[in-house]
Amino acid sequence: MRIAKALSFLSFIPCHRLPSRSIYLNGKQIPLCARCMAILLGYLMLPALFLMPLPFLVGVLLQVPMLADGFTQYKKWRESTNWLRVVTGLLSGVGQGVIVVSVVNFLVESLS
Ligand SMILES: [Zn+2]
């Protein structure tokens, strides 16, 4: 599939790329796992976050679902699903954007 091949440049990103935790387009595995792909998609919100900055704490709180999902899976308390990985990864990506915008705005205000 052309989309999967076009996204092959993402192969430099460190990711386990486990087939069972990845998303497939027309039978071709996306070159990142579901969670990493969703985090990257969350980064796309960065321009909007510069226009409508959210508090730093919101960015931190948006990390909690992914950390809880990853931690409970790591401890083998439960098995996550790709759907849950996408949702929590997307929240994390947006949250990381909130943190970046908060830090940038803080630095700009501090230096001006
Ligand atoms: Zn990954």
Mean pLDDT within 33-41? 96
Domain coordinates in residue numbering, the chain = 34-111
pLDDT in the model for residue 91? 98
Q: What is the pTM of this model?
A: 0.88
pLDDT at 95: 98
Distance 73 CA to ligand 1 centre (A): 14
| 29, β-bridge pairs | 24
Strand partners, 28: 25
CB 21 within 8 A of CB 33: yes
**What average pLDDT score do residues 56-73 get?**
97
Q: What is the mean pLDDT of residues 86-110?
A: 97
pLDDT band at residue 10 using 50, 70 and 90 as cut-offs:
confident
SS3 81: coil
| Ligand 1 center from residue 13 Cα (angstroms) | 8
**What is the distance in A from the centroid of ligand 1 to the CA of 32?**
5
